[in-house]
Structure 1
Amino acid sequence: MSIRLITSLFVIAFWILQPLVSPAAQILVPMDVAQKDHLKAYGIAFWVLQKEQEVDWLLNYRGGSFAFRQAEPVEKELLARGVSYQVLSDAAYQEIISQIAHPDANMDVMKLEKVPKIAVYSPPMAEFGEDAVTLVLTYAEIPYELVFDEEVLEQKLLNFDWLHLHHEDFTGQYGRSIGRRRGRDKFLAEQQEAQRLVVKYGYDKVSQMKHGVAMRIKEFVAGGGFMFAMCSATDTYDIALAAEGVDIVDELYDGDGIDPDAQQKLDFTKTFAFHNFVISQNGYDRGFSSIDNQRWERGIDEENDFFSLFTFSAKWDPIPTMLTQNHSKTIKGFMGQTTAFKKEQVKPEVNIMGELQAANEVRYMNGTVGKGTWTFYGGHDPEAYQARGSHYPTDLSLYPNSPGYRLILNNILFPAAKKKKPKT
């Protein structure tokens, strides 16, 4: 057979088979155990949104995988960040979509359409490594801006879609004992800054100024914002809301005593998540109220400290489904100034997403206020059973598949699924 005939046959065969070969058109980023770096995968999804391209969040499909159009720059970025991915033909991807769309499949496709603008509420004196959210945002290469009391009181939150509350004390007691352990110089600097804002904005004392901040945050959420809080920012925030107009601060922190009727004057209708709690009136107490399930009350040691995520209907309950996407339904517990929430103190309308039944405690939950959504997550650092502090920050390159940190990043992407709303 001549070379010319062989070449002709090859060309004919190529054109006959060509219609059967579909060009690769989709990238799938699996989020099950096949993924090398779950945390950086969220950063890739954010990066694609920044390029004004849609991202499909495949809820309950392979751990909550991401998919988007194939492009050479995207593949280069995936390789540079060490994120596992697959290239699929359009036909293969449509088969996945059909599988997800089946009425009996507890899966759905959530379109991510916009880049959320992220703010982290953190004191100017805070050091990098003190907060799990800033750690994971930095590791995932997701941009954010820092704000604190002055920016909140100046209504700067209107420039953002998503707000994280650093483990702050909204009652005006400087984190109580934990505040003093930071070091006298730092503690005095926090007091001076707080007092400066008290004078600037016409408040009588720090607890009133902090309540003003809490109210501005509540307005942000009610107007359509997304708020995420961990550790002591969860319970102290609700305590501040319930104590509007009531002095609950020991004289150690503001020079005068607690209102003797403070407990009876609390208004639980004003809170996001908690009710029927009893505040601690001892200024030396590390805990703030009966909300937190204290270590000596839990009866759980580190070896048995795991909480379980709930499974929700992807087609009917998209919000909690998005917030619980994970490759593991069992999450290692971790401590904090506020570690866990006693179940009886959680309002019945709150959506519980993670709990430890053996201790009758809630670890992860969310709800709505007005047009917005909030999430509370107990504990300080998902990969440090006891907080190590800023001198020994968690190295997330050692925990690229952390299920506990994934819960934080689910919340980061959540606003991307919402249509942009006008700010008023």
Structure 2
Amino acid sequence: MTDSRQVTARPYPFAAPDRLNLDPRYAQLRRDEPLSRVQLPFGEEAWLATRYEDVRVVMGDARFSRALSVGRDEPRTIPRQQDLGMLRMDPPDHTRLRRLVAKAFTARRVELLRTRAQQITDELVDEMVKAGPPADLVEQFATPLPIQVICELLGVPFADRDKFHTWSEAIVSTTSLGVDQIQEYLNNLWGYIGELVAVRRREPVDDLLGAMVRARDENEDRLTEEELVQLAAGLLAAGHETTVTQIPNFVYVLLEHPAELARLRADPTLVPSAVEELIRFVPLGVASAFPRYATEDIELGGVLVRAGEPVLPAVGSANRDGEVFADPDRLDLGRVPNPHVGFGHGVHHCIGAQLARMELQVAIHTLVTRLPGLRLAVPEPELTWKSGLLVRGLAALPVTW
């Protein structure tokens, strides 16, 4: 059995991201070295889990802890460690915070928002059609849609979107922002939420932020002021940032797979399964993140992971595991079953998964049905991609129809 003392760590990420293409080295590792030793740009060495079953164990087994990262030199792609609040907690502390907001993101509550999300989406398409092509799908559609939805759910003024959308980059930046600027943006975001909290105390409103303030003030032992501010700021940032990125990513992938796009246009009832397949197919993260620390010696994938060692779950790799997904590198919008781990697994499963699913379904369905001639307005090589971020995404997506 292999252990960390017998393995030399390889640099990770393996290379700069190539658009939405998953690095082929993941497939090689799944086959030959499913748990490999890696060294990220910052922090201690870690194991990298690349097979689906191992990734699910790392994310779902209580013997792997996020809380043990506190006080450790956590493997990461940025120089400074960030206070990630709930993302660095284990139960029961994690459960205490998650319970406060989980009710706002149930499937039932999210479905009640679908009509409003559809209205916002239709208005955005109306504006694009009125202005005429070409249009930048990132700026004119993908960015305002999830921002307005999360603003209305939380109770944050949509008029402030440019400010907090800019500050939210601090959460996903690797090299796009300097260390001091990241902290400045985080402080701005926390200060902004703190001001909204003060307003809710003076003028109570029945929205998610108002409910969180009441939970803090009426149950002092359940939520500290710092937890309240950081939790609300995290929901605001995470509640729009990835969906803003994924809408253009999904459209790009569909345009790159014309046969599957034609299939979807011919049968829009495929949209829910299409969204699940796109979540599986698109490797959103540039590299694996949020390592879990072993609380005891554990055998995983033929490797002895010693107590106190961190393991990184490679979600993008797990979602291409041929042991679970037939023909895993093929886009199949009707794939069933599709047990992807694109939203994570276990106690840290994305709390906003149902909201993201709904927004993505509404966005893709509307674009497919209302703009059936949607296509790139520039040659594919001229598209610009974001850089220096934890996630892959297009800086702009010029389209016509």
The two structures have a TM-score, normalised by structure 1, of: 0.24
Report the structure, 1 or 2, having the larger helix content. Answer: 2
Q: Which has the higher contact order (CA 8 A, sep 6+)?
A: 2
Report the structure, 1 or 2, having the larger strand content. Answer: 1
The two structures have a TM-score, normalised by structure 2, of: 0.25
